[in-house]
Structure 1
Amino acid sequence: MVDPMHFEASADDYAAARPSYPAALWQRMRTLGLLSRGARALDLGAGSGQATGPLLHAGLRVTAIEPGPRLAAHLRAAHPVADVRICRAEDMQFSASSFDLVVAATSIHWMDLDVLLPKIYTILTSRGRLAVWRNVFGDADAPTTHFRARIAEIVAARQAPPRPGPPAEDLDATIVALTTSGLFEVTDASTYRWTLELDAAAIGRLFRTFSDWSAGEVEQAVEAVRAVGGTVTEHYSSWLVVLAPIERPSTP
C-alpha cells in the first residue's frame, strides 16, 4: 500500500501543482443549495486548500482537517480565515450537529469509512449534506494523445503499490462504499470533463504528488512532454456525489 503521508513529503509541489476543481462542479454545488453564505462547512483531508478556498469565497465558515503539518502550513498561509486542525479525519472530535456541509475532495479513499461515516452522520445537521468529489487525472473518453500513450506505457511497465479505496474513475464503486453503512443515501451524482495545459516542469511537479509514482517514472513523464514539443493538453475528469443522512427511526 502507498504511504498516505506521501503528500506531506511533497507539500511544496502539492500546493504549487495540484489543480483546482472545475467551475461546473462548483456551479452544481450552488444549484443544489450547498454553498449558502454563513453555512458551517468541514473540509476533510484539505491538503493545501483546493476546496477550502472556494468554500470560503462562497461565504461559508470553514473548518479544515489536514493530517500533514507542512500541508496545513500551506493551507493556513493561503487561507488564514479557515480554522485549520492538524489531525486525521478519523480522529476529529466535534459535537453533534456542528456542520451544515461536510466535504471530502480527492481524499475520501484514504479514510477508514467504518470509523469516519458514523462521525460525519453525528456532526451533520439533520438537513446537512456530505459532498464527495475527486479529480481523475486522465479521461478514458477523450482521444488518446501521444503523451497519454506514453504514460500508459510507463504504467504498464511498472509494479506500483496499490492505492487505497476504489479506482479513481469508478464512481459507482465509491457510491457503494459510501452507502453500505446505511447511514447515507445519494441525492445527486454528476461528472465533469475539463482540460489543462501543462509544460514539462508542471508535469514534473504534478506527477511528483501522485502517491504511486517513483522519481524515475516522473522523469520519464517529463521526457514524454519534451518529446512532443514541451507542452501537453491533459484531458481530466471529476465526479461529484452528494449524500444526505438517512433519518433513523425513533426509539419508543
Structure 2
Amino acid sequence: MSRVFGEVAALYDDVRPGYPPELLETLTAYHGGIPESVADLGAGTGKATELLLTLGAPVTAVEPDPRMAGVLARKFPAAEVVTAAFEQWTPPPGGVGLVACATAWHWLDPATRDRRVHAALRPRGTLAILHNRHGYAEPAQQAAVDAIMQAIDPARNVDDRPVDWARTELDQSGLFADTAVHEWHRHPVFSTEQYLGLVRTFSTYRRHTPAEQRRTLADLRAAIDGWGGALRMDIHTILVLGRAVAG
C-alpha cells in the first residue's frame, strides 16, 4: 500500500497540502540550530523536502516508489534522492543530524522503525515525525464527508489515532528523550474538483474497487455541490519531536 500513491504521483503532488513554514522555527529551536544533515523518509513527491531544503543543510530524500521519487528529483535537484524503502537504505557513517518523516511514519515497519531511525541519527540527533490530518471546518460537512468515506472504508486509519500516538511510541521505545508535540491548523477552501482530486490520493480510497471509487466520488460530488461547490478544510498538522538517546 505504501507504493499505491505512485499510480497518481502527479496528482498527489498537485493537490496534497504541504506543511506550514513556521514548523521549521519550532524544529530548529528544538534541535538547537540548523542540523548538519537531513534525511527525509518516505519523502513522496517532496512535500516536506521542499521545506527542509530551506534549512540549507544537505537533504537525502528516501522514497520507495520510483514514480514518486521521479517527481521529487525533477522538482528538487538539490536533494539527493534515494529510491529505496527505508528498511533498505544505508545511512551515512556517523549518522545524520535530523531524520524527518512526513505523513509516512505509519508506513514504516512498526517492529523496527524506532530502532532503525535511532541507528540512523547522530547521538542526540532529532527525529521529526509530521503528519497532516485532512479535516473539515464545518461540523455538518465533517459529519457528511465522514459518513461517505466510512461507507467505503469503515476500517480505522491513521487519522483516528490520538494526536500524540507517535510520541507515546517514542517514549515507550526508550530510545528517544525530550519528546514534544506541536500542532497547527490551516483552513483552505477546496472546490469540488480540487477535493475529489485530493480524495483520489487517499489510501482509504485507492485500496477499493473502481466501482466503489466511482460511487464514493459521486456521493462526495453531490454533497459538495449542494454546499455551493466549496468545502472549507481544516488541515491539522501535527509535529512530534524526539531526541536520540546517546549510547
Q: Deviations over 1:69-118 (max 9, x none)?
A: 11001000110111001111122112442210000011101111332222
User: Do the aligned partners of 1:113 and 1:178 also contact (CA within 8 Å) in 2?
Assistant: no
Q: Secondary structure at the match of 1:171?
A: coil
Aligned residues: 240
Aligned residue identity for 2:152:
R
How many angstroms does 1:26 deviate by? 2.6
Matched, 1:135 2:127: no
Identity %: 28
Structure 1 vs Structure 2 CA RMSD: 2.1
Structure 2, unmatched stretches of 5+, are none
C-alpha contact 1:66 1:86 (8 A) present in aligned 2: yes
The correspondence of residues 108-187 of structure 1 with structure 2, limited to 5 A, is 108-138=105-135, 142-145=137-140, 147-163=141-157, 166-167=158-159, 169-187=161-179
How far apart, in 1, do the equivalents of 2:3 and 2:156 lie?
15
Distance change in 2, residues 1:48/1:78 (3 Å): same
Task: Check the 8 A contact 1:194/1:235 in 2, yes or no.
Answer: yes
Does residue 192 of structure 2 align to residue 200 of structure 1? yes
Q: 2:33 aligned with 1:31, yes or no?
A: no
* Aligned equivalent of 2:104: 107
Give the secondary structure class of the aligned counterpart of 2:17. coil
Stretches of structure 1 lacking an aligned partner (at least 5 in a row): none
Contact 1:96 1:124 in 2 (8 A): no
Amino acid in structure 1 at the alignment position of 2:23: L
Taking structure 2 as the reference length, the TM-score comes to: 0.88
> How do 1:1-252 residues align onto structure 2 when only pairs under 5 Å count?
3-33=1-31, 36=34, 39-138=36-135, 142-145=137-140, 147-163=141-157, 166-167=158-159, 169-213=161-205, 214=208, 215-216=213-214, 217-248=216-247
Give the conservation status (yes or no) of the 8 Å contact 1:69–1:86: yes
| Superposed displacement of residue 230, structure 1 | 1.4
Higher fraction of helix:
2
- Residue deviations 1:124-158 (CA, integer Å, cap 9, x gap): 1113100111101116xx5414x323202213433
Q: Distance in 2 between matches of 1:143 and 1:159?
A: 22
Q: CA deviation at 1:65?
A: 0.5
Which shifted more, 204-213 or 17-26? 17-26
SS of residue paired to 1:212: helix
SS in 2 for 1:10: helix
Deviation at 1:234, TM superposition (A): 0.7
Q: CA offset at residue 161 of structure 1?
A: 4.9
Change (3 A) 1:247 1:84: same
